[in-house]
């Protein structure tokens, strides 16, 4: 039986917890202030987090604590008010192809086909590849998400689950170093959700990229993650606690549910959220 290793990140200090050559993503003393009519609102303050290469990290925390704010800052879509974020030791200065994003709603171009939607990113990131090569990349990832029969279907004709599959294919097809996922399965029924979790893990495992995913679902957080990061409630939210999930991979839902530590992990996360 493995043991629970829950580390308080407040003990980590600012020099990091992992050797620098193992770190993919480094958030140092991160701060975010939103100006509001009532004055400045400090959402995040002194937030420190390191994420290792090829790690799958899930983020949980109360609604409104600042999870999306943090993720959008990593994506380079939201300005940093203080501190810094680096990818492989380089400070980020805006969005870039090294970071792919999957949102809750995939925001596809509704009049374009699945293939055309995936090609939008591929064409930008691989401008020197031939048209055939770019088509092959886009089709490869569409096949991976089970859309081999829907290359030429318009996005507006696809179900929500299929649209999210296109969103996943689109994000992987630009071959990012880091994949950022903001509640990607939040709007889906549980069966589709399970299927897409399996697809996500399969491609993540094959591509060896780093994944950071926000979820409100404690079971999803445990099933997918190497570590579950818990954010404190705002204002001035930071990392409150981190839980290492020591289950072997590949995992099945059954093996996870039957594991001796499953309910201990679950209780740890629920206790954190309830206090």
* Residue ranges that bind ligand ATP, judged by CB under 6 A: 34, 36, 41, 43, 61, 63-69, 234
For residue 186, the tally of other CB atoms under 10 A from its CB is 16
Q: How far is the CB of 34 from ligand ATP (least distance, A)?
A: 3
Nearer to ligand ATP, 37 or 94 (CB): 37
Q: Please give the Cα distance from 38 to 191 (Å, whole number).
A: 44
Nearer to ligand ATP, 92 or 115 (CB): 92
Residue number, 65 or 145, with CB nearest to ligand ATP: 65
CA distance 47 to 51: 13
Q: Is 21 exposed, middle or buried (0-12, 13-18, 19+ CB in 10 A)?
A: exposed
Least separation in angstroms between CB 38 and ligand ATP: 10
Min. distance of Cβ 207 from ligand ATP in angstroms?
A: 26
- Could you tell me which residues come within 8 angstroms of residue 98 by beta carbon, excluding any fewer than 6 positions away? 87, 88, 176, 177, 178
DSSP-based three-state secondary structure for 273: helix
Residue 181 CB, nearest approach to ligand ATP (Å): 13
CB closer to ligand ATP out of 67 and 177: 67
Instruction: Provide the minimum distance between the beta carbon of 6 and ligand ATP in the complex, in angstroms, as a whole number.
Output: 21
Nearer to ligand ATP, 17 or 105 (CB): 105
């Amino acid at each position: 039986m493995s043991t629970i290793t829950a580390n308080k990140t407040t003990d980590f200090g600012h020099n990091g917890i992992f050797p620098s050559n193992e770190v993919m993503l480094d958030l140092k003393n991160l701060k975010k202030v939103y100006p509001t009519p009532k004055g400045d609102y400090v959402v995040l303050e002194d937030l420190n987090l390191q994420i290792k290469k090829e790690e799958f990290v899930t983020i949980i925390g109360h609604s409104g604590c600042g999870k999306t704010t943090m993720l959008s800052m990593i994506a380079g879509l939201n300005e940093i008010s203080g501190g810094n974020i680096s990818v492989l030791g380089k400070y980020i200065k805006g969005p870039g192809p090294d970071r792919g994003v999957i949102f809750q709603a995939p925001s596809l171009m509704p009049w374009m086909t699945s293939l055309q939607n995936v090609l939008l990113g591929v064409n930008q990131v691989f401008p020197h590849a031939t048209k055939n090569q770019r088509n092959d990349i886009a089709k490869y990832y569409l096949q991976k998400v089970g859309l081999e029969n829907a290359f030429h279907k318009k996005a507006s004709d696809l179900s929500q689950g299929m649209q999210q599959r296109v969103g996943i294919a689109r994000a992987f097809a630009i071959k990012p170093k880091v994949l950022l996922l903001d509640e990607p399965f939040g709007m889906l029924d549980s069966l589709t959700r399970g299927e897409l979790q399996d697809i996500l893990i399969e491609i993540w495992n094959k591509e060896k990229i780093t994944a950071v995913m926000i979820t409100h679902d404690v079971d999803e957080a445990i099933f997918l993650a190497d570590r579950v990061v818990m954010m404190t409630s705002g204002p001035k939210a930071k990392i409150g606690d981190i839980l290492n999930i020591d289950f072997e991979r590949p995992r099945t839902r059954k093996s996870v549910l039957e594991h001796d530590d499953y309910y201990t992990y679950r209780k740890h996360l629920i206790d954190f959220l309830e206090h």
